[in-house]
Each structure stands twice: as C-alpha cells, then as structure tokens.
Amino acid sequence: MVRTLLLQHGYWFLFLYILAVQAGVPIPADPLLLIMGALAGDRLYTITGALAVVLAASLIVDYCWYELGRRGGRSVLALICKLALEPDTCVRKTESTFSQRGAWALLFTKFVPGMGLVAMPLSGLIRMPRWRFLLADAGGTLLWSGAYLLAGFLFHRQVSAVIEALGLLGRRAGIVALALIGLYLAFKYVQRRRLLRQLRIDRITPEELRRSLDAGESLTVIDLRHPAEVEREGLKLAGAVVIRPDDLRSGAQSIPRDREIILYCTCPNEATSARLALQLKKAGIRKVRPLAGGLEAWREKGYPVEPVPAPSSGDDGEANLSVDAAPEA
C-alpha cells in the first residue's frame, strides 16, 4: 500500500508523510525511506530528490517544535511526552544525551525512537542558537534519511522481493502486521505498568518537606535537573545541593546514612528523582524520597527558592552531600 502511494503520488506523499512523523504521529518513517530508496534503485525516483524532500519536511516541523520549546518551556516537553510510549523517560534520556554531546546530539537523535521528537523543543528550551540548531538538525536529517535511502537503493532487489511477497499474502499480510504492532504495544504497556509499580515509592509532598525543614529535621535536598536548565533559571530550592544524577550514583558511598535524602527534578512524574531514589534504595540507602511534583510544585506553593551560585573555577563537579538543606524563613 505504501509503495503504491509512493508510485502514485511520489515526492508529495513522501513530504506529507515525513511532516506527520516529525509532528509526532506514531507511524514509522524508516520503512518508507527504505521503500523510497528501492524505488530510486529501480530508477523511478532519485536519491537527491528524496533527500531534498525529507530535509524540507523535517526542517519545517522541527523548527516549529524548536520555537515552541523556546517559548513554551517544559510545558511543551510534557505535551511531547504524551505522544511517546515511554513518557517518563524520554526527556531524561534526551537531556542526558544533550549534556554529553551538545548540539552534536542532533546528528543522531532521529535514529532513536522518541528521542528525535523530544530533541527539537529541548533545543529551544536550552536556548541553543537558531543557526546552530538548523545546521545540526539538517545534518542529522541528512544522515538519518540518507542511511535508509542508501540502504534501500543498494538492496532494491531484495526490498522489492519482500514487498512482492507481502503483496501475494494479501489481507493476511495486513493481519500479520497489525498483530505484530499489537504485540509490541502490549509489551510496552506491560513494561510501563511494571515501571510505574517500581516508581511508586514513598514520595514526600512540598507541604511535608516544608514542615520538616521548618522543624529543623536533618535533611539533605538534592537538585537533579539538567545543568542547562539550572543555568537558565538560576534558581533552586533554598538550601538544596545541585548535583548530576550520574555524579550522585558514582558518589553513593559518600551519601550520609543518618539523615533523609530528598531528590527533586522537573521531569514528568518525577521520573529522574524516582528512578534514582529506587536505585539508591537498592544500594542500601533507605532514607531517600523524591519530591512529589518536583521544583514546579514547590514554587507553586510559594516556598522559598534561592539563586544558584556560579561554579568556581576549580569546581570538579562533586557536591558535598553532608550539607544541611534549611530554607530561609
């Protein structure tokens, strides 16, 4: 069916299909690019023409997501995550990739399901320069689409043979395809339900945390947000220690056992803090809880925040976890 539509409508169908994929419609683009590459191998279309169409469609939608992320902030990311099969982890994974590779991450995000969609508004959220975003996104789009188009072009006989074999199956091919998609969605649903059960550990509400801090209880509050977000907002929960999740995992031995550790982030469902709290509990650190609603819920209550101090020139990225977190009155 896809091959027939490509034969009938050519580049226009490819353009509209890629527009839909980049807009977040949960349909796969890779098989379409393979088929388009095979048609180019059969001399019905050209690789350069297909690349130009994919590049134009991708840049139009990607730039719209970029501007939405730049103007709408994390609310846009929350909307994006509702389109993903793993909404609690898509932002965290993409932010981790960006923290390691910066704009170069855009060269590879389209190869990872879910990450390519999140990367666009996240680029706007962290205020990546527009020229750098467009350059990196164009390079990533050409790398991704070129890889599949070239594979289809080189193996056009094999791709055509598979399509013809599926065509001989008629309706049975569609039933098999729908069954496989159904099994995949069922697997992801079960996987997500199991993850949610694991993450339902004892959260602490902003009200409970404020009362504990006001009572002078021994607590350490840790900010797990992405460094770019911390730098952009310049604020944190009063008295909190800013530390990356990877640094906290590697320094688990130095986490004090005589006090409660409170973790917070700004990701959907507190995924980062909840996952890390679960990992620390398995490592034997029992007094650790994620803050329900994260920093946004704390600020909505009007509870105190403070400026994030600029890192010193000799800062090695490690945090002193023995510092008490006591907000100012």
pLDDT (average), residues 78-91 = 57
Write out 36-56 in H/E/C secondary structure: HHHHHHCCCCCHHHHHHHHHH
Residue 108 backbone dihedrals phi, psi, to 5 degrees: -125, -10
Q: What is this structure's pTM?
A: 0.59
Split at pLDDT 50, 70, 90, the class of 326 is very low
Does position 137 have pLDDT exceeding 90, yes or no?
yes
Query: For residue 52, is pLDDT > 90?
Result: yes
CB distance 23 to 61 below 8 Å: yes
Helix (H) / strand (E) containing 13: helix 11-23
How many residues does the structure list for the chain?
A: 329
In whole numbers, what is the pLDDT of the chain averaged over residues?
A: 77
Higher-pLDDT residue of 169 and 101 is 101
DSSP codes, 56-115:
HHHHHHHHHHHHHHHHHTHHHHHHHHTTSSSTTTHHHHHHHHHHHHGGGGGGTGGGSTTH
DSSP, res 142 = H
Contact 219, 323 (CB under 8 A): no
Q: Is the pLDDT of residue 255 over 60?
A: yes
Q: Is beta strand 305-307 parallel, antiparallel or unpaired with respect to 235-237?
A: antiparallel
Give the separation between CA 108 and CA 128, rounded to whole angstroms.
17
pLDDT value at position 329? 39
Of the ranges 57-71, 109-123, 212-226, which one carries the lowest mean pLDDT score? 109-123
* pLDDT cut 70: percent of the chain above it: 68
Q: Give the gyration radius of the chain's Cα atoms.
A: 24
Rounded Cα distance, 209 and 298, in Å: 9
Can you tell me the mean pLDDT for 230-248? 84
Structure tokens at 225: 């947000």
Distance of CA 240 to the CA centre of its chain: 25
pLDDT above 80 (res 210): yes
Residue 34 confidence (pLDDT): 85
**3-state class (DSSP) for residue 235:** strand
Structure tokens at 66: 């970029």
Cα gap 256→44, rounded to integer Å: 67
Phi-psi region of 284 (alpha: psi -120 to 50; beta: other; left: phi over 0): left
The predicted-structure confidence for 159-206, as pLDDT tens digits, reads as follows 766 666 555 444 555 566 567 667 766 776 676 666 656 556 678 899
Average pLDDT over residues 28-47: 86
- Residue 328 is classified by DSSP as -
Tokens found for residue 248: 């906290």
Query: What tokens does 240 get?
Result: 């909190």
Q: Does residue 203 contact residue 289 with C-beta atoms inside 8 Å?
A: yes
Tokens of 149: 């188009």
> Is the model's pLDDT at 135 over the cut of 90?
yes
Q: What pLDDT was estimated at residue 91? A: 60
For the segment 94-98, the average pLDDT, to the nearest whole number, is 64
Bigger pLDDT: 103 or 180? 103
pLDDT at 155: 84
Residues above pLDDT 90, as percent of the chain: 18
Instruction: Please say if the pLDDT value at position 252 is more than 70.
Output: no
Point out which residues pair with 222 in neighbouring strands.
Answer: 241, 263
Q: Check residue 168 and give its pLDDT.
A: 43
Q: What mean pLDDT comes out for the span 114-132?
A: 82
**Is the pLDDT confidence value at 318 over 50?**
no
72's CB contacts (< 8 A; 6+ apart) are 121
Instruction: Report the CATH superfamily, name and number, of domain 206-307.
Output: Rhodanese-like domain (3.40.250.10)
Parts of the chain belonging to CATH 3.40.250.10: 206-307
